[in-house]
Structure 1
């Protein structure tokens, strides 16, 4: 009742203010309705413009030098020399965001600068992979991919993890530091309660809703994952489509938007045990920041990672709050912290990504000590 009374009082004061200014409440309500209808029409136009746009990404994959199950290790350097970089993306999105467009591919740009990126394309979980835990991915699949990368490079490599891939890479780096020259973590969460504990716990509270689906299919479907992400920033969805409708359809910005939206809409299901760990332990219990997240029975502790570190924190990140990623800096005091004036995806694939991330990352990699014997 008190909340309802307060709302009524606010409405009454607004009506009085409108009347005093010569604007009847009825006219104000009609103006608001017209504005909302214009926004809705612009949103529909933007969505239709995206659906009708002729652009389709057609970059061919580089050759795979290793595979296991549905996962492949793609060699962007195609056997050439140069510092090797094992790139680990998230499990819930396709790896192509790091190789988005000609002239807009982070990995092809790094190749052109003399590096040898090796991209771990996880693939979609199938068969026994739907029973994988995070330990299976880190201490199993990722560990063996690192061994293959190290063999191809003839020595230690730089490990780069993006978003969720950063958490997996961090856990592996603790286990295999002697195989690494450095660890770069891009927009990698750590403290899931850093900015809004209630929202994190609310996300975890949805887990019981999906249990029947997880038991029946062995995975959390793409549509559910997209809905959970969309709920974190519902206003942003409308804004980006309204902005897209104003872009010249044959311009680079429009093609980049379509490529990114196609990538977002072509997600990957999450193995059921991983979904339970992520929602329940990461978001629900904040296990990483509390020192309670374990891989193969061992607590993951960033302070135990004995390799040079690079932490890229995008300041406009709506997926991983900057405070969540910045929490890693307290556990990795010797790491270089790079603040990027970009969003979660824009930092790696946006129009200014070369300035915001690619060049600072390259500078850090080139400054790393050479492996012994080289």
Structure 2
């Protein structure tokens, strides 16, 4: 009888705990929705850390009061400067000549002084944790950008001038655009079928992703596209491109004039590229090891079987580059067994996850790809225990991270241009959004499976397991030092997703040849940098085995600057590590699943 009573009590307590968890999760979900998916607890802790340290710093407060006076006087003096004597305006928001005329010059200078002062106030410095300081700096900047006088019609002389010149039509058009966007927002539904979605400006397979080829391999996670040769002879080592699963692959095969795929094909390379499946709720339990095994490694094995090539050049972009680095390290670890007492031995996990018929890596090329995550740039604002707990809860409800949510995060990172600048042009000046292939691609969002994304953030961003030698794959820890192929690593100067100094840390983690390239541009536009594009340049220098560490600032100061596209340097670098050109490998009919760009890239979702 006592046992039954004890069991009933435990069952009742478990039900109470379950009910409490359900209530907590419901409240936390409502709070997250109210804060646009951010954790209000994380935001409150960061600002409390900053505020308490500020309260305990009367000297700092006095210094800031003095600084406020200095900035006010400076703003007053700048307002009185004649337009023809004023220094060139560096802030693009105030580039129009109208900002140099009173009263707008006073509004501009007053805002610039206020902006400078609040940014100094936010950057408390000593005592505030590094992550909390980053959050306070970031969200202070977000608030200041929102309050810019360039965002409001009555304080923006350019908006008023255009309204006068068009007799108000610009404001009318802007209001129409606002109503159009507002209706689309209200009508947005996660369950909207793909056929009901607005068509992309640039149709996949018609305007973009048009380089001829065939899907020659398909599994539940990827389609592998092999492109048709356009030259009589090709280099014998194929090139496999691993794009990020965060994006549709065709950012590297946009319009013919700016397609990296077409460029490489026309230069005599046999090119393969992975097209990742756009997941749904049924894929919630896909893991990072699935993306490595059924994705990167399966594609390598398929490329070898389709061409007979023993060696393979590999290119990884963004998260695809991180995946490629892990796969290359695992392959290097297996290669070390050859000739040793364990030659030929493969553990059960290695047999299950690493194909036996992989080619040798002729090279590993990483594009804007991080392997050390201690300095993740602006993305670090969203990475801490509270933020990830909020994100996990949202993903667990759906089974995936929605493309809309991921796209919103990237808008946060560049809100001055992508949000406020766009709103000013579209709603206040009546200018429709620019239509070009990269913007159309940007609207073609993808999802990520809940478990895979959670593992990625936990292991790499939060714990930096890859750089510290603690990330495990195929039953063993991954050491990037095991990569034995020569490497080319490309970073971009204005990358908010993979800051170049973070990418540069590959020099600390490997002991192989590394050619480092620092290209002008951002995370996307710096990579899609075709020959002939004006005002493009890059720096390039190589570090041989055992050369030692060179500080990134010292590297930048001494590396030569080359005008033009870094694509040309990549092609030459690959060619130096390839055999003599030969007849292109045959594309056998039994391997052709369908024509490029395949089926997976066509999958779209409302969210």
Shorter-chain TM-score category? 0.7 to 0.9
1:56 aligned to which of 202, 213, 229: 202
> Residue 234 of structure 1 corresponds to which residue in structure 2?
415
Q: Which digits, 9 at most, give the CA deviation of each residue in 1:167-220, with x for residues without a partner?
A: 111111223355322111111112212375x96264244211122222122111
Would you say the 8 A contact 1:347–1:357 is kept in 2?
Answer: no
Q: Which digits, 9 at most, give the CA deviation of each residue in 1:248-271, with x for residues without a partner?
A: x9xxxx65xx21122122221111
1:261 aligned to which of 436, 439, 448: 439
Would you say the 8 A contact 1:232–1:318 is kept in 2?
Answer: yes
Shift in Å, 1:228: 2.3
> Is 1:104 the equivalent of 2:258?
yes
> Residue 217 of structure 2 corresponds to which residue in structure 1?
66
Where 1:136 maps in the other structure, the secondary structure is helix
Would you say the 8 A contact 2:376–2:498 is kept in 1?
Answer: no
> Is 1:200 the equivalent of 2:380?
yes
How far apart in 2 are the matches of 1:4 and 1:346? 42
How far apart in 2 are the matches of 1:221 and 1:119? 24
Q: 1:39 to 1:186 in 2, by over 3 A?
A: farther
> Is 1:322 the equivalent of 2:500?
yes
Give the TM-score taking structure 1 as reference length.
0.81
Q: 1:296 to 1:240 in 2, by over 3 A?
A: farther
> Residue 118 of structure 1 corresponds to which residue in structure 2?
272
Where 1:131 maps in the other structure, the secondary structure is coil
Shift in Å, 1:67: 0.7
Q: 1:195 to 1:165 in 2, by over 3 A?
A: closer
> Residue 452 of structure 2 corresponds to which residue in structure 1?
274
Would you say the 8 A contact 1:84–1:118 is kept in 2?
Answer: yes
How far apart in 2 are the matches of 1:93 and 1:304? 28
Where 2:456 maps in the other structure, the secondary structure is helix
> Residue 18 of structure 2 corresponds to which residue in structure 1?
none
Would you say the 8 A contact 2:366–2:490 is kept in 1?
Answer: yes
Shift in Å, 1:96: 0.8
> Is 1:75 the equivalent of 2:226?
yes
> Is 1:216 the equivalent of 2:387?
no
> Is 1:339 the equivalent of 2:518?
yes
How many residue pairs get aligned? The number is 360
> Is 1:171 the equivalent of 2:351?
no
Where 1:56 maps in the other structure, the secondary structure is coil
Would you say the 8 A contact 2:530–2:565 is kept in 1?
Answer: no
Would you say the 8 A contact 2:316–2:367 is kept in 1?
Answer: yes
Would you say the 8 A contact 1:219–1:272 is kept in 2?
Answer: yes
How far apart in 1 are the matches of 2:157 and 2:447? 32
Would you say the 8 A contact 2:314–2:363 is kept in 1?
Answer: yes
Q: 1:186 to 1:199 in 2, by over 3 A?
A: closer
2:406 aligned to which of 225, 234, 242: 225
How far apart in 2 are the matches of 1:22 and 1:369? 62
How far apart in 1 are the matches of 2:464 and 2:565? 29
Q: Give the alignment's Cα RMSD to 1 decimal.
A: 3.9
Q: Which moved more, 1:167-176 or 1:317-326?
A: 167-176
Q: Which moved more, 1:15-24 or 1:70-79?
A: 15-24
Where 1:103 maps in the other structure, the secondary structure is helix
How far apart in 1 are the matches of 2:281 and 2:238? 31
Return the index of the structure with the highest Cα Rg.
2
Task: Give unpaired runs (5+ residues) of structure 2.
Answer: 1-54, 81-101, 112-147, 163-172, 182-199, 333-358, 534-563, 584-607
Q: 1:153 to 1:225 in 2, by over 3 A?
A: same
Q: 1:194 to 1:78 in 2, by over 3 A?
A: same
Q: 1:6 to 1:314 in 2, by over 3 A?
A: same
Would you say the 8 A contact 1:200–1:284 is kept in 2?
Answer: no
> Residue 106 of structure 2 corresponds to which residue in structure 1?
28
How far apart in 2 are the matches of 1:344 and 1:235? 16
Would you say the 8 A contact 1:195–1:323 is kept in 2?
Answer: no
Where 1:349 maps in the other structure, the secondary structure is coil
Task: Give unpaired runs (5+ residues) of structure 1.
Answer: none
Would you say the 8 A contact 2:253–2:261 is kept in 1?
Answer: yes
